[in-house]
Amino acid sequence: MFKLSKVNIANTALIIIGFVFTIYFGYNNYQEKKQLQKDKAELFGKIEQLEQNIAKNNQIITQREREKAQDAMSIKQLQEQIKDALKNNQCANDFMPSNVSDWMRSGKN
């Protein structure tokens, strides 16, 4: 029949060990690849969320800048209206002593 020698047993053992290591490392590689794909999908989701947040923030900034510009125009128009209303007012054109104007600015009665 088939005679087992020490060399044949050693070779068979090496082949089996090599096969086991190949399976182990192949499975380990498969698991790592699967985990990396999961991590990649998670990171892409976070990047998408960050991009959406950036877009929202940019819209808010743009709107606030428009509002600020409109407020500045309104203030300028109101200042011009006050100036125009006071240009022919004799009282507004009279000199006021500094201590009186200081007293009025301080708001003390």
Question: Does residue 109 have a pLDDT over 70?
Answer: no
pLDDT digits (tens, 9 = 90+) for 34-74: 999 999 999 999 999 999 999 999 999 999 999 999 999 99
Q: How far apart are alpha carbons 106 and 101 in whole angstroms?
A: 9
CB-based contact 92:86 (threshold 8 Å): yes
CA–CA distance from 27 to each of 16, 18, 22, 66 (Å)?
A: 16, 14, 8, 59
pLDDT above 90: percentage of residues in the chain = 55
Query: 2 falls in which pLDDT band (50, 70, 90)?
Result: low
User: DSSP assignment, residue 107?
Assistant: T
User: Tokens 């088939």 — which residue?
Assistant: 2
CB neighbour list of residue 86: distance below 8 Å, 6 or more residues apart: 92, 93
Question: Does residue 3 have a pLDDT over 70?
Answer: no
SS3 category, 84: helix
Give residue 46's pLDDT.
97
More confident residue, 98 or 81: 81
Mean pLDDT, the chain, integer: 88
Task: Return the CA Rg of the chain.
Answer: 42
pTM over cut 0.85: no
